[in-house]
Each structure stands twice: as structure tokens, then as C-alpha cells.
Structure 1
Amino acid sequence: MLEFFNDVISFFGDIKDWIYSGIYTFTVDAYAYFIKQSVKAYIGFLITAIPFAWDVAQSIIDDLNISSYLDSAWGTLDAPTRSVLAYLRIPEGINFILSSAVTRFVLRFIPGF
């Protein structure tokens, strides 16, 4: 009979310990799991949204015909300047910066960015 009371006291002691420390551990673990799943979902969203935004940005650049403006500006430069800038790959850098700027602009219209 004494063993039964010891088991009951041990049971309620375990419940008390869980209430004092177990709830905190459970809450921390649950919150960490939620944050981890949220980060995974956000990264998955980014993997989907960035190529979409890139395609939309390329469409905007084509619709605005920006390449013709850049080509006409490139044509106004004299030959030695053009050759130095081509050697330094400045036109490719301008194209990259322009594409990334328009892509960033498009990403602002997608909720979550």
C-alpha cells in the first residue's frame, strides 16, 4: 500500500516538474519548429518567385525597348572609348545591373518581399 502512495506522489511530482520546466521546453521546441518550417516555406517561395520576377523583368525591358536606347548611346561614343569599355566589359555590367534593378522593382510588387 505504501508503494502505491509513493507512485502517486511520484506521479504528481512528475506533473509538477513538467509544469515548472516541461512547458517551457515544450514551448521553446514548438516555437523553434514553427520558425524552422516558416523559413523553409519562405525559401521555397523565393525559389519560385525569383525566376518568375526575372521573366517579368525581361518582358518589361523588352517592352520598354531599353536595349535600343543603350545601343544608340553606345554608338555615340568614339571608337577608342568603345574598345576600352568593351575590353572592361562595361556593356555586360550595365546589362546585368539594369536586369537586376528591374527584377528588384518587380519583386516589390510580389507580396512577401
Structure 2
Amino acid sequence: MTQPLPKYDVFQAIADPTRRQLLQLLTDQEMPVTVISGHFPMSRTAVSKHLRVLAEAGLVKERKVGRETRYRLDPEPLRELKRWLAYYERYWENKLSMLKHYVESDESDETTS
């Protein structure tokens, strides 16, 4: 039996700045939604919706403690993002090298003039 595909992928989940802030907030500790929502200028319901997207992408894990649900970061899915970015990093490095060469050659031209 195959598992259903997640509703959101990592890229969709981190596209929103609020969700990126949520991930950062949950980096070092597990928190209930009541505490999390105190860090944001929005309703608890709105925060819960953002947490749901993160959970569906696998970026946060939920744990029931009594009547309370606590959330914590699960960084594992971010490895997919890291691999994707690593592929394109070579293009950035190439462009930076070209820029460095251009700037340094322009500076040497000015000093010899």
C-alpha cells in the first residue's frame, strides 16, 4: 500500500515568511500553539493553519500532551531543499568568480593608467 503524497511540499511550505518564522521559533524547543501564537500578530486559528501546512510538508511534528498539541521542528525534509540548492550553487560560485575577476582587472587597469 503506497502512502498518499503530502498536500504541500517543502518548497511550498517555506515560501511563506510566517512559516519560515515558525520554523525558526521551533528550532530549539517544542511549543503548544497557545505559546506560538503569542509570537505573531495574528489569530491562533491563523497560526494553526500555518502549522498545518508545515506539518503536511513534514517540517513540524505534532505531539499530544493531555489536551494540548505541541509542535517541534523536524529538519529532515529540509535536506531535500539543501540538495536542490547545492546543485545551483555552482552557478552562483561561477558568477561570483567572474565578478571578482572583472573587479580586480578593472582595478588593475585604473592603477596602471
Give the TM-score normalised by the residue count of structure 2.
Answer: 0.33
Structure with higher strand content: 2
Structure with higher helix content: 1
